[in-house]
Amino acid sequence: MPRDTPAEPRQQKQLPMATPDRPVMGARCNGCGDCCVQEVCGLGIEVLGESAQAPCPLLRQHDGRFWCGVIEEAERVDVAFAGHMKWRLGIGNGCFTGGA
Ligand code: SF4
Ligand code: SF4
């Protein structure tokens, strides 16, 4: 998920595992993980600090896709809070990365 501040020019980084192809922008998120591999989002920066570097260390892999570890932990503790975090991240709004 992108930070509010301008990012470095986007460079393709290696995914740590075989993943689904990134869908087109606006399509349902398939957990390809590319967004979090390329950049640590604002939530990740809040948790890890400004020095956090992509791929996001909070990214988790299971069930054939990637997941946000912050959301998973929040869901264990407080479902309403997790829902707020999902809203913040735009989860459910489709892929925002502009994949082709
Ligand atoms: S938002 Fe897009 S790039 Fe990010 S995990 Fe979902 S499908 Fe992949
Ligand atoms: S894994 Fe979670 S905290 Fe890290 S960049 Fe992705 S959405 Fe943000």
Centre of ligand 1 to C-alpha 96, Å, is 7
pLDDT over threshold 70, residue 13? no
The identity of residue 19, as a single letter, is T
In sequence order, the β-bridge partners of residue 68 are: 59
Mutate to test the pocket of ligand 2, among 22, 29, 40 (most ligand atoms within 8 A of CB): 40
Contacts of 67 (CB under 8 A, 6+ apart): 31, 59, 60, 61
Centre of ligand 1 to C-alpha 51, Å, is 23
Under DSSP, is residue 93 helix (H, G, I), strand (E, B) or coil? coil
- Provide the residue ranges of all domains of the chain, joining segments of one domain with +: 34-89
pLDDT in tens, 19-67: 788 899 989 999 999 999 999 999 999 999 999 999 999 999 999 899 9
Closest listed residue to residue 97, CA positions, set 15, 43, 23: 23
Q: Does the predicted model carry a pTM greater than 0.95?
A: no
How far apart (Å, rounded) are the C-alpha atoms in residues 63 and 40?
Answer: 22
Provide mean pLDDT across the span 64-85: 94
How far apart (Å, rounded) are the C-alpha atoms in residues 100 and 63?
Answer: 24
